[in-house]
Amino acid sequence: MYEAASRPCENHKVKKIINYFTYKKNMIKLLQWLLGLGLFMAAWAILLSGRFLVKIPEEQMLHVWLVPVYTLGTFGLACLSIIMYRVYNFNNCEAAAEELKMQIKEGKEDLKKRGFRFDEDTLQNADL
């Protein structure tokens, strides 16, 4: 029986594949967006130039010209719906709020023991 290390050519291919996918994972977001934008613009330019395999009727060319506007509007609606969904499902942390109130109360008591004086206005504004 032979080991994979005895076949350096295949080991090299595996490492090359792993490095390729590692590079893909580490691609920064800006490059991903620029690549997507470039592909979109190339496809749009092909449609506008008339070099597409299917001839687009003149009545439909207005919609081809407006594809970026449609895409931007759809993207904006998707972003807006995601933001609204996440705001709607935002969790209130009641336990954490109570813990924070207790820590503030303990801090005030500790400061009073050390001689710090609170004004009445400060106490009223600081009480939660």
Spell out the per-residue pLDDT of the chain, length 128, in tens.
444 455 555 566 667 766 665 665 666 888 888 899 999 999 999 888 888 788 888 888 899 899 999 999 999 999 999 999 999 988 888 888 899 999 999 999 999 899 888 776 555 555 55
Q: What tokens does 1 get?
A: 């029986």
Whether residue 71 is contained in a domain is answered as no
Whether residue 25 is contained in a domain is answered as yes
Whether residue 108 is contained in a domain is answered as no
Q: What tokens does 97 get?
A: 């709020």
Does the pTM of the predicted model rise above 0.75? no
Whether residue 39 is contained in a domain is answered as yes
Show the domain range for 49.
1-55
Domain total of the chain: 1
Whether residue 66 is contained in a domain is answered as no
Residue 116's closest CA among 125, 124, 107? 107
Count CA within 13 A, CB hemisphere, residue 76.
6
Whether residue 76 is contained in a domain is answered as no
Whether residue 64 is contained in a domain is answered as no
User: What phi and psi, each to the nearest 5 degrees, are found at residue 54?
Assistant: -110, 135
Q: What is the pLDDT of residue 92?
A: 81
